[in-house]
């Protein structure tokens, strides 16, 4: 059984004696706090924090992280609180322990909500100290190693959470030793039979491949020695989940995957990496298009290496990774390599760069958290953002930006800065204008064109893929809707107040404050927004305000002002035009106040118009004089079928300065067809001109506007 003395012996290799003593003191404190508690397996509970500390010792983490590992469950599972930990072990350790501790005293109806809330708390703790996530990952790893005592359904739930969140976070921070083990343990818990079959097949294949692997490894090592290059060649083993995913996604058999031999060559410096690349390319022919230089352009998690694929003996593919010893440490320990170098009293630029990238990632998470509507939306963003296949593009200044595969111009704009994303109107890719929805490819140079008055478009959500862009667009649209709802609410309330010969601006501030308090609104804008979104009736609020002024009942609803609200078609997100009747400038229109949607504009004769007997929900509207917008309208044409019918109609519509937004044709019988045509027109007069042109066609039997 592994003991605290065994751990102390291991720590002696890289920590001073006084720090090891502090780690031991934390262990004895945890042992006393957890006295009498046992794990599901029957072992004393303190074996768990000791095992977590041992995992961190493998990564050469600092003594405070090891102390936090010992104490990470005392706040949650014992009577010890954070101030007690702080008084015993200092503020840094107490903050780490608090960050790692799960949420307590809160019951969630949905386990997904609990998972999301826990992760949100962890992100906030990570922003203060990145070591929180490293301790948490070690905690989760030991829990995964000891899943055996749990029910199968609970095993699968914990394994899925591990696979979706913790393994991806480990990968994002470059801690591949933990990521790979978490993935394989999760795979074994979710699909035990598949994992066992693949594991047995790997063991069998390893025996058949041993001689071929040894031959290639010897050849590579000998070539390095002949060229006077220092380096160690070693075989590389695929892990279970990686094999399973490739078999499933690439539809390859196990034998096809195991035909690929993987090797890693570790050397002393970067210059030697490139010289070794030349040696292996001279030894075996490279496969075109399969070379990647992650040394010049590191991955987001700090991973650096040269990757190449070669045609080996008898044509078998050989995958080779070439890296320095520092890059090897980074590939295994990622952000944790920073503390490994610190223990040696030397800061290394690779580790420092990794720490900066980790900080930038956490900063991005915090920004997403602020913009997300709730914890579930936030964690969905995080899942989409973690562990992507990356592409690399260039800013106008030549800086390299990393984006996930399939990212668009809008994703790039938001990755540069949220304000640039919100105000972008166009883009140049390699000096050529391109649509904002263009999917990017590695090596492209982008220049974003912005305009101060530009705003995000809701259609952008259909093609952006990065979490930052999606959350920022939703946040901006929500803010935009709030502003437009306030403006509409002000107009509606002023219209209702006009019968009492007053307005919002003329009301006494103390009176408005009293009304806000009685109606339970935080401020004036909140009230106006609620009116604009249809949650409160403008006339009811107006009467309430007037009653406060003179203390007597105001005019009845029958005396409501007949002054119409003027609309232009460009009001924004809280003024919507009904799709059932497609109102146009020139039509008699009324507005229906719909809760949550704002003002919906209908034609006066629309059959779908509800609440006709509720004057508080209906508003008289009139069109502004200067309308520049195009409006959709639906026509149905009964016409004789003939060749070139669509082209003929399209030509007439284009000649009349209108656009076709949709067209569909249904055959009624052998002679006649019904054409449903959706056009974008300026107004009723423009539509009449188009209908007259179409009616003049000799093959048209009937034409009428839909929604009447």
> Tens digits of per-residue pLDDT, 32-73?
988 888 887 778 888 999 999 999 998 888 899 999 999 988
Residues serving a catalytic function are 76-77
Tokens representing 589 are: 């229109």
Neighbouring residues of 680: CB distance < 8 A, sequence distance ≥ 6? 630, 631, 632, 633, 658, 659, 661
> Tens digits of per-residue pLDDT, 146-158?
888 788 888 998 8
Would the pTM of this model clear 0.85, i.e. be above it?
no
Comparison of pLDDT for 192 and 490, the residue scoring more = 192
- Region 17-29 average pLDDT: 93
- Asked whether the beta carbons of 245 and 189 are under 8 A apart, the reply is no
Could you give the domains of the chain? Answer: 4-193 (1.10.3210.10), 202-343 (3.30.460.10), 475-623 (no CATH), 631-705 (3.30.70.260)
Reading across the β-sheet that carries 659-667, which strands appear in turn?
Answer: 659-667, 672-681, 631-640, 700-705
Picking from 685, 568, 565, 572, the residue whose alpha carbon sits closest to that of residue 627 is 568
For β-strands 446-450 and 575-577, DSSP reports them as unpaired
Chain mean position to CA 153: 28
> Tens digits of per-residue pLDDT, 399-433?
778 788 889 999 999 988 889 999 999 999 988 88
Could you tell me what percent of the chain has a pLDDT over 90? 24
Beta bridge partners of 448: 427
Phi, psi of 435 (to 5 degrees): -65, 155
> Tens digits of per-residue pLDDT, 464-486?
988 888 888 888 887 777 777 78
Structure confidence at residue 552 as a pLDDT band (50, 70, 90): very low
User: Would you say residue 307 has pLDDT above 60?
Assistant: yes
- Region 504-522 average pLDDT: 76
Neighbouring residues of 484: CB distance < 8 A, sequence distance ≥ 6? 532, 571, 572, 573, 574, 575, 598
Q: What is the pLDDT of residue 25?
A: 93
Chain mean position to CA 396: 26
Structure confidence at residue 286 as a pLDDT band (50, 70, 90): very high
> Tens digits of per-residue pLDDT, 329-385?
888 887 766 565 454 444 455 555 656 666 666 666 666 666 665 666 666 656 555
| Average pLDDT of the chain to the nearest whole number | 81
């Amino acid at each position: 059984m592994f003991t605290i003395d065994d751990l102390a012996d291991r720590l002696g290799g890289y920590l001073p004696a006084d720090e090891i003593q502090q780690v031991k003191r934390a262990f004895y404190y945890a042992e006393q706090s957890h006295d009498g508690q046992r794990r599901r397996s029957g072992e004393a509970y303190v074996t768990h924090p000791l095992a977590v500390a041992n995992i961190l010792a493998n990564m050469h983490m600092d003594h405070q992280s090891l102390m936090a590992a010992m104490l990470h469950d005392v706040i949650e599972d014992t009577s010890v609180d954070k101030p007690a930990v702080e008084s015993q072990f200092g503020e840094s350790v107490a903050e780490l322990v608090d960050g790692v501790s799960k949420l307590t005293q809160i019951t969630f109806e949905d386990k997904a909500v609990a998972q999301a809330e826990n992760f949100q708390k962890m992100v906030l703790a990570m922003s203060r100290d990145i070591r929180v996530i490293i301790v948490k990952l070690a905690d989760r790893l030991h829990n995964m190693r000891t899943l055996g005592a749990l029910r199968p359904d609970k095993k699968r739930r914990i394994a899925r959470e591990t696979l979706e969140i913790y393994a991806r976070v480990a990968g994002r921070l470059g801690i591949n030793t933990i990521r790979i083990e978490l993935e394989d343990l999760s795979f074994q818990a979710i699909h035990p039979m598949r994992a066992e079959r693949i594991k047995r097949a790997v063991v069998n294949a390893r025996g058949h491949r041993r001689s071929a692997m040894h031959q290639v490894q010897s050849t590579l090592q000998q070539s390095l020695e002949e060229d006077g290059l220092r380096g160690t060649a070693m075989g590389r083993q695929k892990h279970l989940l990686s094999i399973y995913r490739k078999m499933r996604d690439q539809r390859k058999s196990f034998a096809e995957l195991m035909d690929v031999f993987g090797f890693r060559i570790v050397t002393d410096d970067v210059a030697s990496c490139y010289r070794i690349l030349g040696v292996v390319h001279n030894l075996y022919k490279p496969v075109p298009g399969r070379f990647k230089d992650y040394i010049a352009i590191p991955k987001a998690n700090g991973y650096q290496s040269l990757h190449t694929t070669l045609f080996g003996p008898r044509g078998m593919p050989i995958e080779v990774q070439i890296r320095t010893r520092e890059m090897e440490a980074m590939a295994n320990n990622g952000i944790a390599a920073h503390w490994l170098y610190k223990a040696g009293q030397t800061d290394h630029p690779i580790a420092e760069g990794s720490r900066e990238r980790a900080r930038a990632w956490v900063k991005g998470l915090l920004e997403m958290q602020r913009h997300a509507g709730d914890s579930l939306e936030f964690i969905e963003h995080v899942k989409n953002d973690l562990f992507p296949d990356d592409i690399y593009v260039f800013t106008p200044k030549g800086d390299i930006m990393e984006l996930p595969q399939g990212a668009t111009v809008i994703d790039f704009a938001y990755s540069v800065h949220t304000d640039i994303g919100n105000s972008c109107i166009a883009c140049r890719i390699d000096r050529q204008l391109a649509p904002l929805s263009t999917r990017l490819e590695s090596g492209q140079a982008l220049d974003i064109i912005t305009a101060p008055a530009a705003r995000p478009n809701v259609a952008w959500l259909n093609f952006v893929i990065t979490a930052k862009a999606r959350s920022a667009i939703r946040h901006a649209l929500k803010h935009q809707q709030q502003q437009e709802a306030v403006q509409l609410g002000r107009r509606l309330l002023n219209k209702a107040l006009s019968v009492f010969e007053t307005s919002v601006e003329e009301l006494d501030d103390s009176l408005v404050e009293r009304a806000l308090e009685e109606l339970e609104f935080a401020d004036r804008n909140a009230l106006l927004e609620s009116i604009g979104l249809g949650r409160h009736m403008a006339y009811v609020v107006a009467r309430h305000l007037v009653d406060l002024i003179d203390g007597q009942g105001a005019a009845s609803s029958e005396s409501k002002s007949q002054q119409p609200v003027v609309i232009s078609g460009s009001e924004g997100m809280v003024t919507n035009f009904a799709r059932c009747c497609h109102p146009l400038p020139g039509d008699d229109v009324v507005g229906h106040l719909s809760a949550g949607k704002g003002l919906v504009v209908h034609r006066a004769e629309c059959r779908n118009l509800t609440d006709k007997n509720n004057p508080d929900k209906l508003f008289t509207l009139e069109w502004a004089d200067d309308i520049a917008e195009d409006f959709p309208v639906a026509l149905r044409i009964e016409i004789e079928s003939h060749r070139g019918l669509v082209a003929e109609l399209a030509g007439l519509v284009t000649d009349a300065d209108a656009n076709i937004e949709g067209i569909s044709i249904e055959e009624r019988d052998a002679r006649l067809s019904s054409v449903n045509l959706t056009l974008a027109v300026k107004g009723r007069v423009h539509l009449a001109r188009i209908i007259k042109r179409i009616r003049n066609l000799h093959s048209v039997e009937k034409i009428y506007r839909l929604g009447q």
